[in-house]
Copies of this chain bind each other. A is one copy, B any other.
Amino acid sequence: MSPRKFFHPDAAELTLHRILFALSDPTRLAVVADLKDGTEHASGNLLADSVPRSTMTHHLKILREAGVTRTRPEGMRCLISLRREDVDARFPGLLDAIMRHGNADEPPMATTRTTMR
């Protein structure tokens, strides 16, 4: 069996509007806030009880494909981390400005379908 593989864009391919789009969703903003400490987090622990697994997979894919996060398989789980260096190199100060705020507004809100994007 081939090990699980995940597409990650090269650092040079990151585009501003894609990154901003990835961060324009409250759930994904909350994920990124969790990753703020720079360590790897098991995907199963992110917003664990408020979001179904398949939904979380969806959001993590968008973050990953925008180049905001890195996903690394480890045993049965996936470890997620911020691609801080890459994003910082291309868009200095962007993550700082966004994460300084945390995710005070619009908490991910449990099971309510987010009608406002």
Contacts and interface: CB of A to CB of B under 8 A. Distances in A.
Interface of A: 15-18, 20-21, 23-26, 29, 90-94, 96-98, 100-101, 103, 105-106, 117
A18 B23 CA distance: 10
A10 to B, nearest CB: 13
B15 A98 contact: no
Contacts of A15: 105-106
A98 B101 CA distance: 16
14 contacts: A15-B105, A16-B29, A16-B103, A17-B24, A17-B106, A20-B20, A20-B21, A21-B24, A21-B25, A91-B98, A91-B100, A93-B93, A93-B96, A94-B94
B20 A98 contact: yes
Contacts of A23: 17, 20
Nearest 7 pairs of A and B residues by beta carbon:
A21-B24, A93-B97, A20-B24, A94-B97, A15-B105, A20-B20, A20-B23
A24 to B, nearest CB: 4
A112 to B, nearest CB: 15
A68 to B, nearest CB: 12
